[in-house]
Chains A and B, each alone.
Chain A
Amino acid sequence: MSISSPEEKPFQKVMKVEGVSKAFGGIQALQDVSFQIEAGHIHAVIGPNGAGKTTLFNIIMGAYAPDSGRVIYKEKEIQGRKVHEIVSMGISRTFQNVELFGSLTALENVLVGRHVRTRCGFLSAVARWPWVKEEEKAAREKALEILDFVGLKKTGHSRSVDLPFGWQRFLEIARALASEPQLMLLDEPASGLNAVETQQLGELLIHIKERGVTILLVEHDMSLTMAISNEILVLHQGRRLAEGSPREIQDNETVISAYLGKV
C-alpha cells in the first residue's frame, strides 16, 4: 500500500458515473445522477435519509444493475458486472450497518478481505503446496499490518462480534483495505462512533488517502465531512442537487434549504 507515483496513475478521474437511474417498484431511488471522482481525493456524498446514497454504492459495487446510465472505472464500463469482479478490479466497500463475519476472529475477517489477492483453491488447500504455505504466511503478515494500521493490532484473536461497536467499524475498514483497493466506498463509517472515535476515524481516512487510495464517503456527520472532503456531492430524492468544495456546499442556498437547514 505505498503511495502510487504520478506515472502509475494515468487516470485523473478514477471513476465517472454517467446518468445513472435506478427505481425500486414505484420509488425512484436514483434519477439521472452524474459525477466524477478525482483520483486520490476524498469525495463525499451527502443527503437526507432515502436520498439514494446506499443505492449508489450498491450500483457501483455491482450488487444492483442500474436501469440506465454508465459507471466507468479507470476507463472501463463496470455497471452490471459481478461484485467479485469489481472487487478484484480494485474497488471495496463497507456497510452502513456493520456487516462483519461474526464467528471469525478480527484477523480472519481481514484475511477473508484478502480473498481476491490470494488464489489457493480446493485442491491446493488439500495439497498444501509450498506456495500455498507462503501465500498464507504473506497474507497473515499483510493482515496484521493492516490491523495495526487501523489501530486494532491487539484484537487480532478476538471474535469480531465480541469487539466494541466502534472497533467493529474500524475492523470493517481494515477488511475493505485488505483487497488493496484503489477506490473505497465507505457508507456512514462514523455512525455510532463517539467523539473520540470519530476523531480517530477522520485521521485514519486521511492516512488512507495519503496512501493513494481514493475514498467515496457517505456520511451524516457534517463537521467530519466538511473537514476531510475534497468535494461533496449532494443527493436529494435520488437527484443530484449540488456538487462542490465543502465551502461551496456550506454556502449553497438550495442545499441549506433542502438539507442542512433541516438537520
Chain B
Amino acid sequence: MYKRLVFIAVIVLTGQVVSNPYDLQLLTFIGINTLLALGLNMVMGYAGQISLGHAAFFGLGAYTSSLLTIHLDWSPWLALPFTLVFVGIVAFLVALPMLRLSGYYLGMGTLAFGMIVFFIFLQWRSLTGGDSGLIGIPPLTLGPISFEFGAAPFYLVWGIVFLSFIVCERLIDSRIGRALRSLHDSERASAAVGINTSRLKVQVFVFGGVLAALAGFLYAHMVTFISPQTFDFLMSVKIVTMVVIGGMASVWGSLFGAALLTLLPEWLHVFAEYEMIIYGLILVVIMIFLPQGLTRGLLDIYEHFKSRRKTLPKSHEG
C-alpha cells in the first residue's frame, strides 16, 4: 500500500517540478512505453510466451482511434472503447492459431504478424496515408483541459500507468497469475493440473494487446501525428528489450526497462544509427549473464554479496 502512495507522490512531485515541455513529453513517453512493457511482461515475463510483434497492437490502437476521429469525426472518448474492443478481437483472432506454436515458431509467427500489420500501415495509402502517415488527429480534451501539451498529458498517462500497475499486480497475485507462472515453468504440468492452457494463453495475449492499444490511443492523441515507422519491427524489439531488462522481478521492472530504453537514445545521440545493433547486444548480454533480467539480476548480485558478507566470518572459523 505504501508503495502506491510513494508512487503517486513521485508522479505529483515530478509533474510539479518539471516544467520544461520537452522533459515533460519525454516523461510522458516513458509512461506510454511502460504500458507497452507491462502488457508484454504479462505475456512473455509471466506466461513465458514470446511475442515479437507487440508493436502491431500499439499501432493498431493508434491507427484505429485516429481513423475514427479524423474520418468519422468521433470524439476520442467514444473511439476509445471501440478501439480497445477492436484490437482485442484482432489479438484474439491472431492468438487462436498462433499460440499453438511455441519457442522459435511462436517468435517467427508473431514477428510475421507484426510485419504484416506494419505493411498494411505503409501500403494501404488511401486509408492510412502510407509513408507520410496521418496528421490532424484531434487531441484529447476534458472540458477546458487539453491533453496535448504540458503537464496534463503527463498526469493522464501516469494516472493510467498507475491503474495498470494495480490491474497487473492484482492479476499476478491471483489464481490467474499463478496459472500464468505455472505455464511458464511447465506447460505439460499446467495442463495436468487442469489448466486450459490454450485458453489462458489466448486470454493473456489479448490482455497484452489491449494494453498496447491503450498506449497507442494515448500516443496518437497526444502527438496528433502518426506514421508507420513508430510501429515497426524495431519497436517490437525495443519492447522485448524493455521486458528483458526489467525481467520478471515485478511490474516495477517494466517501468525501469521502459525508462531506460526511452532515455538511452536521448542521452546517446550516436545511438540512432546503431539502435538495432545495440538492442540486440543488450538482449544477448542480458540473456547470457542475467537470464532473470537486469533488475532481478542486480538484486540477486546484491543479495549474494550481502549474504556473503554475513557468512564470511563463519567460513573463517571453519
Contacts and interface: CB of A to CB of B under 8 A. Distances in A.
Nearest to A121: B176
B171 A95 contact: no
Interface string B225-262: 00000000000000000000000000000000000000
Contacts of B175: 111, 115, 118, 120, 125, 135-136, 139
B129 interface: no
A112 interface: yes
Contact of A120 (B174, B191, B196, B207): B174
B176 A83 contact: no
A128 to B, nearest CB: 6
A116 B190 CA distance: 11
Contacts of B188: 63, 95, 99
Given A61-B192, A88-B194, A95-B189, A115 B179 contact: yes
A99 B189 contact: yes
Interface string A88-100: 1000110100011
B177 A125 contact: yes
Nearest to B192: A93
Contacts of A175: 193
Contacts of A111: 175, 178
A122 interface: yes
Contacts of B190: 101, 112
Contacts of A47: none
B189 A101 contact: yes
B46 to A, nearest CB: 10
Contact of B195 (A84, A103, A122): A84
Contacts of A135: 175
A100 to B, nearest CB: 7
Interface in A50-90: 61, 63, 82-84, 87-88
A258 interface: no
Interface in B53-72: none
B170 A125 contact: yes
B182 interface: yes
Interface in A100-129: 100-104, 108, 111-113, 115-116, 118, 120-122, 125-126, 128
B174 A132 contact: yes
Contact of B176 (A84, A93, A101, A122): A122
A225 interface: no
Contacts of A139: 175
17 contacts: A84-B194, A84-B196, A87-B192, A87-B194, A92-B192, A95-B189, A100-B186, A101-B185, A101-B189, A101-B190, A103-B185, A104-B182, A111-B175, A115-B175, A115-B195, A125-B175, A176-B193
6 shortest interchain CB distances as A-B pairs: A87-B194, A125-B174, A116-B194, A101-B185, A99-B189, A120-B175
